[in-house]
Amino acid sequence: MQNSIDPGYANYQGLLLASWFGPLILCLGIIPTADAFVSSPASSTLHLLSSASSATIDNFPLREQPFRRRTQYCTLRQSVADDNEDVSNDAVLKEEQAVSSELPSQASGFWTGPESARPLHDSTYTQILSTVLPELGAQLRQEYDDHFADPRQPDAARFAWDPWFVSVGDTGNRLEAAEEKEEEGEGVDSDEEKLLLVPGEVDAGKKQTQYSLKRIQTSQFFSSDSYDLLVDELMVVGRSVGLHAITPPWTSMYTDGDQQNWHTDAPHGPLAFVLSVCADEGDFEGGETMLLQPQILDFWKGFDSSNGLECGNIVRHIPPFPLGRCIAFDPRVPHGVNRVTGNGPNPKRARVVVHGWFNEPQTTWFGAWNDNVDDSSDAEDEEIPEDAAILLDQVLQPLVSTLASGEIGRVVGYLAVRMDVTPEGSVEDVSAVCDTLRADPEDFRGVIGYDEADRPVMEDAVADVRLSIFETLKDLYFGPAKGERAVIVPFDFE
């Protein structure tokens, strides 16, 4: 099925293509300015944000006053409101697009470990990324301790914590809705709704604790210096996987009995992050970030009835230590926080974390792209390399058309691809620094052919997408420069 070109956004920097196979956002280049940003249409779309050129396409009005700037980092994607209004989760703390003089491997705070860079065509699903920001963690912890040093002394920052307690019954229950449908004799559509409910099951579910913790907007608790350092450090980490903004972060405190039960996040960004401000491993027990193991999310595929499963086979437990540990994970995966015990109500021994979401995918340039930049220099960040950006856009246009055609198959998730470029200008490596791609089960085509031995060939849309991107990028030539360079190209499939 051929895709038609859909009328796009007025004054939008880039190209908007409509796709039958579900919304795929391919983010390249600079994020639109306040004058260019618009709300997304309801229809399925594929976006190519150009890093060098722009296109003006009519018929879609701009959202009225979509941005409100609070600080040099903060841009709110909402209508204008009073300056005293609370910051919402729709806000983003954003860094302006530029070329970093440091390569990803040289900059502090970038992801480390085996997941940080795999050959793209051999990449596998990355559920969690991890690094440690010890200096940031120490500064935040010291300031946190200072607020609670003298409990007899009033402290305005301590008064602003929200004791957030939500039970399942407070927000409705899907099992209850299914039960009502059965009682009313209405038809049900999904397997989940066809569950034969046990008497009392709905009431028991409603009594479960969904969220129990104390929380505060981070900007309201820490000093402006510490808050700015936090944003700067997280921007560095986010840029390493092509994400240039974060939602305004929350700081949460967990004392005895606090937890977050299993849930998934609303789409605030491709990656959720948690930064530990926990000082001593002996302060409490529990408090691990929990995620379902990837194989549990596709439980019946390759099911083996001869193997029993226990907790470690079903759930991942990521401890909030050492101080300054920062993890980022796929927020689509069911996750939670293990119940904290052993610290009583004492905030000095609490599990303390800063958390939010990375978003705003952009093409990210590192190293000596411009003639007057040396990757080993202390020069200020430079503008985007226009010639290289135009070349990249031109090469990616055919790839975007192929992805939009549905020939390869549908995938969902986020893929950040890093190209390492030699001083001579050739691409040395094409690797995945973040990969949460999964095949869209609604588009799985099963057997798509047979090999020479007449064996069935099953569709693997994720592998095909990775290979297509790899083949498109591996032979690019950007021309000579003073030093090594790298560019991260983000692909966001929704």
- 217-276 confidence digits (pLDDT tens): 999 999 999 999 999 999 999 999 999 999 999 999 999 999 999 999 978 899 999 999
Q: How confident is the model at residue 287 (pLDDT cuts 50, 70, 90)?
A: very high
Per the model's pLDDT, the better-predicted residue between 445 and 399 turns out to be 399
Domain ranges (residues) in the chain: 15-64+364-493, 127-361
Cα–Cα–Cα angle for 52, 50, 39, rounded to 5 degrees: 135
Mean pLDDT of all residues in 120-141: 93
Q: State which H helix or E strand residue 313 sits in.
A: helix 311-314
Helix (H/G/I), strand (E/B), else coil: 403: helix
Q: Which of 441, 433, 258 is nearest to 350 (CA)?
A: 258
| Phi and psi at residue 273, to the nearest 5° | -130, 150
Cβ atoms of 118 and 124 within 8 Å: the answer is: yes
**Is the CB of residue 366 less than 8 Å from the CB of residue 433?**
no
Q: Report the pLDDT averaged over residues 42-49.
A: 31
State the pTM of this model: 0.78
% of the chain beyond a pLDDT of 70: 67
Which helix (H) or strand (E) segment is 438 a member of? strand 438-439
Structure tokens at 399: 């790839």
The 10s digit of each residue's pLDDT in 354-376 is: 999 999 999 999 988 875 444 44
How far apart, in whole angstroms, are the C-alpha atoms of residue 489 and residue 29?
8
Topology, domain 127-361: Jelly Rolls (2.60.120)
The per-residue pLDDT for 178 is 56
pLDDT of residue 320: 96
> Is the backbone of residue 365 left (phi > 0), alpha (psi -120 to 50) or beta?
beta
What six digits make up the tokens of 352?
Answer: 């303390």
Q: What is the pLDDT of residue 449?
A: 64
